[in-house]
Structure 1
Amino acid sequence: MSDQRLNPHLDTPYRNAWRRLRGTMVTVALFSACVNILMLTGPMFMLQVYDRVLSSGSVATLQGLFLIVVVLFMFLGLYDFLRTRALSRAALRLDQEVGQDTHDLWVRSALLPGGETSRPLNDLAVVRGFLPSPAMLGLFDTPWIPFYLGVVFLIHPWLGMLAIAGVGVVTVVALLNQLTTKDYHAQAMRMDGAESHFVDQSRRNAEAIVPLGMAGRITGRWSDMHREGLAVGQTGSDRAEGYAAFSKSFRLLLQSALLGLGGYLALQQEISAGMIVAASIIAGRALAPVDAVIGQWRSIVRMREAHKRLKALFDGQAAKRPTVDLPPPEGHLHVSGVTKFAPMAERGERPPILDEVSFYLAPGDAVGVIGPSASGKSTLARILVGAWAPDVGTVRLDGATLDQWAETALGKHIGYLPQNLELLAGTIRDNIARFDPQADDGAVIEAAKIAGVHDMVLQLPDGYATRLSYENPPLSGGQLQRIGLARAIFGMPRYVVLDEPNSNLDASGDDALSQAIVTLREAGSTVIVMAHRPSAIHAVNKVLVLHAGRVAEFGEKDKILQTATRRRTPGDAPKQES
């Protein structure tokens, strides 16, 4: 992995999607300019009515002005609709462009330390929902505050200075709102993510939680987490609500102050009566975007944090190495000096999970990897299929490291049955065929027969069309494991890794597993079996013994087992029992 680089920050799917939205944002800014200019229609109409119509008593002038106002307000509504529609379509386009990449990264994040709490799809939903929101429109209106202040200043400098002072106060309030609430909102969102992860864990483990009498305590733990998260979020909301209420009341006070000052200036014959009302309305319009931003501050913070997490997620992905179309592998597996440290650990801080593991397998070989619990068998399985990368060392298939293959191309030649198996929502056929809609039904049935699950599937009401779902799984643990085995050997891959493949199997399942390994070996496949139960390695020809992450022994099965048998002298028995 040393030759992989992080994606350059200026070239990720998420950043590129935002870059392609620049034209839309410019268009929205232009529509916002039209909207904000047309917002002067009401105050200007009122100014003309007070200063021109009432003084002249001309009905024709009033009718002409009103006709102009009707046309201008029609354009105002049109431009406001168009900018909202543009933002809505931009949100849809953003989701369409990065949705698949985001889902892919979400799936892959489960392979990273701490990745189980990542919720990039939720973050994308937050960003998508924010774009056409009133808060986003308020941000586009904010740059027009100086324009409105300038208009008020043109009416009279004193009114302009009062309005500028009012905007300054509201701006300070907005900054204080940000400074005093951002930490609470950020912490509340982190706690919400942890709570969501705990809820998902609780539901997935209900089968153990309820019988063990843990349901009440788990609910109590969730209640504590939920209450703490709400308390932190409410503290931030209380402060934000206080700032929002002050800003709103101050805006009303400022408008009244402008009316009062305008009345004084009118008495001094410096402005007209219409200018009094016009200045008050325009100044109120200048403060409206700030009010909108303060009122929607929590959603703005949520969007900002979600946007930052998405950028960091995409930026942190290792750049894809260029690949070529390598020929189908024959099954020569070279594992050289593979070392893997515990997550978040560096060399020397903790003993490695795997330490300098090396071995070689030829096509047709099947090795049983045995050893006590925590000896590193599952970690080795994940590294052998590329789910995890070794910290030191290499895994080569036919001389090429796994990352030299195109992922989809290599996947066709790999079979993998993980220790913790969960089939996905879909039909049994879908799961065996690895959700390939172009998969041949004959290949699906062949894999099921090799795994010894074909007859069992036919006994189900819908056969291979039986739909699996989380809410109502129709299969037992052993049946699921055998279907997982069928998925692993679908297409007769040349490289198969089985992690505890018989942990839920009965005697007939063990026989089917052994026969499947024999069939794979006869076809020239290389098979690695991580095993606790001896029946899992019945059909292998080699054994690798792991102890504390190191290779204790490796060689022909009969030789290794005979050596182990000779070591079990009668004098050792009491020691082992003690």
Structure 2
Amino acid sequence: MSLIEDYKAEEARLKQTMKKAGLYSILASFSMLAVPMFLFQVYDSILQSRSVETLLAMGIFAIVVLIGYGIFDSVRNNLLSKAGVEMEANVSGLLLAGELSRQHGASAQSLRDLAGIRQVIGSPSFGALFDLPFMPVFMLLIFLIHPVLGLVVVAGACVLLGMGIWGDRSTSALNQEHMQSMIKSHQVLDMHMNSQEIIRAQGMYREVVQHWGQHQGNQLNQLIHSTEVTSGFSSATKAVRQVIQVLMIGTGAALVLADLATAGVIFATSMIGGRALAPVEQIVGGWRALKQAHATRVRLMQRLEEMSLPENRTKLPRPKGVVSLERVVYVPQPGVPPIIKGVNGSIQAGDSVAIIGPSGAGKSTLARLIVGYLLPSAGRVTLDGQDLAVWDPVAKGLHIGYMPQQSTFFEATVRENIARLRTGDPEEWAVEAAKRCGVHDLLMKLPQGYDTVISKAGFYPSGGQAQLIALARAFYGNPTVLVLDEPNSALDTTGEQVFHNALHTATKQGVTTVVVTQRPSVLKHVSKVMLMQDGLIKDFGPKEQVMNSGAVKAVSSGKKAGPQPNAPSPQQGAAVKAAPAKAPETETREGSAAPAAQVKPKAQVKPKAQMKPKAKVKPKAEAKPQATDAKSSQSAAKKKEEA
């Protein structure tokens, strides 16, 4: 579902509201003619006839019309303000969801842009745009009163419009530069706010203030320059409009002296001319804000075009937990080397897999691909044969428990954080999840137990506490797939034991479990090991087989362990996914019909003989047991001789 369509739909509703506002603008604009018409009648009729009744009648009529003007103008302004608020309310939720659904570059700037558009919609400058179409009507009325006065007001309007165009061209580049500088300053400030811990710990106050001050100072300098230019044009516009008023009165007086007009014409045309030129003055004064709003809308539209929310899809049954990687490639940005380089593999339902390897091998990226946080640049990741990209994200999230390296929380209670902010679920589910992974007793020791509010301004869990709460959140809802990324990096001895028990519970219950780890203690709770290096799966299979292979030693020593054994031809894909390190058993599981068909893959799928010619891992792996057998036979012979 494209968010740009929803935004355009909201803009269409806004336009309907603007039509209503335009109707009230018509009524308000014509109501403003009551004062000049009253003055015209007073000077040209009432003073000459000396009729008190006419004066009272005209005065009451003018007052009633002006009360109507106040009502019409208020309704128009309220319509615009309410329309802006409703637009922000309807779009902001979708916009936030769209930002969070992006793989990279989620930013709150789009929400700030939306708030800026809402503010401009309710501003006087935007309301003046509705009065601008009546400018020719008032000029025509002045022409009807006297053509000379009409020419004066038209000339004045041309001068004001020319000044507005000149001011726009003079300030456009300045406003654009200021906007970019302001966005950059906000981004730097957000980064510093998120780095409060390291700043306080290392006393980096001065350096941080100087670093942000450079961006903020640049932004403020550009703001001052832009404001000076804009204010200059705004003040000049006001002065020119007053000059036009003087010219209108002077020209009217000259016409009266020449017996070409009456005294009422002087005041009536002066007020009508002021009303005709007032919108121009307001628009020129608020031109900077209007231009920024236009640029903000363009930027927001471009941002929305890059966003999309998945459409409602058919809800699939609860998955068994089979995760398959099919030639998965992941490139973070165009022109950047891939982090994951065409990996293949299959994790069967109920498997417990430890992903190991050196730093920068792509372990965490692979975990993010498995849970669907990242989408492959090529290939696909499937859950029970269904591509994760086409799974309904909400339904998929119910079946996957994920614990990232950095445990972050929402400003809510511990129970609400464990429950993933799901208000419709029974409260006991959060307690059950905590008990299932063994952290219930530890959570009960918090200040208010499960009702402890997590907040940066109040209680915020320590590293170990955060990992245990995040572990309970991952277990919430009985997921069929559990992906844990360095889940015990901050745990003490007690927390480590709790984590091991939780891992044992998950594997015992048949949950497909994937653990990214650097700690050997985790390996005793898993059945399979996946070894990664340089974005490739170097070995994948039963724990004992992988750990005793030469690939682990080669990776540990920093050597290239050769191509991954589970990326052969498509015909061998099923065999490799099942157990790439045990070729004969895998080939048998493939179900080849003829013996010859079994023998042929045997020669093809020897990963260590065929696919690792340089490292010669298989000869080392084979030679090691032979050497051990030779040593053991020699030792036995020596003992026999001694006996």
TM-score bucket (shorter structure): over 0.9
* Residue 442 (structure 1) aligned to one of 412, 428, 438: 428
Report the counterpart of residue 408 of structure 2 in structure 1.
Answer: 422
Q: Counterparts of 1:155 and 1:255 in 2: how far apart (Å)?
A: 16
Contact residue 135 and residue 292 of structure 1 kept, 8 A: yes
Judged with a 3 Å threshold, the aligned counterparts in structure 2 of structure 1 residues 188 and 498 are, in CA distance, closer, same or farther, namely same
Change (3 A) 1:426 1:153: same
Work out whether 1:226 is the aligned partner of 2:226. no
Deviation of 1:564 (Å): 4.2
State which of 486, 489, 502 in structure 1 corresponds to 2:475.
489
Q: How does 1:123-272 map to 2 (within 5 A)?
A: 123-272=113-262
Q: Give the equivalent residue in structure 2 for 1:48.
A: 41
SS at match of 2:541: strand
Shift of 1:197: 2.2
Is 1:379 aligned with 2:365? yes
Residue by residue over 1:237-260, the C-alpha shift from the partner in whole angstroms, topping out at 9 and shown as x without a partner, is 111101101100000001111112
State the partner residue of 1:576. Answer: none
Which of the numbers 326, 330, 341 marks the counterpart of 2:320? 330
Q: Is the 8 A contact 1:321 1:404 kept in 2?
A: no
Deviation at 1:471, TM superposition (A): 1.6
Call closer, same or farther: CA 1:566–1:407 in 2, change over 3 Å: closer
Which of the numbers 336, 343, 347 marks the counterpart of 1:361?
347
Residue 565 (structure 1) shift: 8.5
Contact 1:324 1:404 in 2 (8 A): no
Matched, 1:290 2:280: yes
Deviation at 1:321, TM superposition (A): 4.5
Alpha carbons of 1:136 and 1:220: their partners in 2 closer, same or farther (altered >3 Å)?
same
TM-score (ref. length: structure 1): 0.92
Question: Does the 8 A contact of 2:402 with 2:482 survive in 1?
Answer: yes
Whole-angstrom CA distance in 1 between matches of 2:59 and 2:366: 80
Counterpart-to-counterpart distance in 2, 1:461 and 1:355 = 47
Match for residue 541 of structure 1 among 522, 527, 538: 527
- Please, which of 497, 502, 521 is the counterpart of residue 516 of structure 1? 502
For the structure 1 residues 309 and 537, does the alpha-carbon distance in structure 2 shift closer, same or farther, using more than 3 Å as the test?
farther
Greater alpha carbon shift after TM alignment, 507-516 vs 407-416: 507-516
Deviation for aligned residue 1:65: 0.9
Could you list the per-position Cα deviations for residues 49-100 of structure 1 after superposition, in whole angstroms to 9, with x for gaps in the alignment? 1111122222222111111111111111111111112122212321332232
1:21 shift after superposition? 2.7
Cα distance in 2 for partners of 1:97, 1:535 equals 50
Greater shift in the superposed pair: 80-89 or 435-444: 435-444
CA distance in 2, matches of 1:568, 1:307: 55
Match of 1:25 in 2: 18
Asked if the contact 2:533–2:555 (Cα under 8 Å) also holds between the matched residues in 1, the reply is no
* Distance of 1:503 and 1:119 partners within structure 2: 33
In 1, are the aligned partners of 2:3 and 2:307 still within 8 Å (CA)?
Answer: no
Q: Secondary structure at the match of 2:350?
A: coil
Residue aligning to 2:537: 551
Which amino acid in 1 is paired with 2:23? L
Cα offset, 1:510, TM superposition:
2.3
Residues of 2 paired with 1:56 and 1:569: CA distance? 109
Q: Is the 8 A contact 2:3 2:304 kept in 1?
A: no
**Take 2:415 and 2:223, find their aligned partners in 1: how far apart are those partners?**
46
Deviation of the 1:128 alpha carbon: 2.0
Asked if structure 2 preserves the Cα contact closer than 8 Å seen for 1:529 and 1:537, the reply is no
* Structure with larger RCO (C-alpha < 8 A, sep 6+): 1
Question: Aligned residue for 2:57?
Answer: 64
> Are residues 1:80 and 2:73 paired?
yes
Query: 4+ runs of 1 displaced by more than 6 Å?
Result: none
Provide the rounded CA distance (Å) in 2 between the counterparts of 1:222 and 1:319.
35
Equivalent-residue separation in structure 1 for 2:173 and 2:371 (angstroms): 41
Q: Report the secondary structure of 2:327's partner residue.
A: strand
Q: Normalising to structure 2: TM-score of the pair?
A: 0.83
Q: Distance in 2 between matches of 1:103 and 1:472?
A: 26
Q: Residues of 1 paired with 2:523 and 2:181: CA distance?
A: 46
Unaligned runs of 5+ in 2: 559-643
Is 1:403 the counterpart of 2:389 in the alignment? Answer: yes
SS where residue 373 of structure 2 aligns?
Answer: coil
For 2:447, the aligned partner's letter is P
- Between 64-73 and 87-96, the greater mean CA deviation after superposition: 87-96
Match of 2:293 in 1: 303
Q: Which structure has the larger Rg?
A: 2
More divergent stretch after superposition (137-146 vs 88-97)? 88-97
Q: CA deviation at 1:566?
A: 8.3
1:108-142 Cα distance to aligned partner (Å, 9 max, x none): 34x32x334x4222222222222222112111111
Q: Does the 8 A contact of 1:357 with 1:550 survive in 2? A: yes
Report the 3-state secondary structure (helix = DSSP H, G, I; strand = E; otherwise coil) of the residue aligned with 1:467: coil
Task: Report the CA distance between 1:299 and its aligned residue.
Answer: 2.2
Aligned residue number for residue 586 of structure 2: none
Deviation at 1:151, TM superposition (A): 1.1
* Conservation of the 8 A alpha-carbon contact between 1:367 and 1:543: yes
Stretch deviating more after TM superposition (73-82 or 536-545): 536-545
1:214 maps to a residue whose letter is M
Residue 484 of structure 1: how far off its partner (Å): 0.3
Percent identity (aligned): 33
**Separation (CA, whole Å) in 2 of partners of 1:569 and 1:298:** 60
| Coordinate RMSD, CA, aligned | 2.1
Give 1:15 shift.
Answer: 1.2
Task: Provide structure 1 residue ranges, at least 5 long, that are not aligned to the other structure.
Answer: 1-5, 574-578
Q: How many residues align?
A: 559
Higher mean Cα deviation, 467-476 or 439-448? 439-448
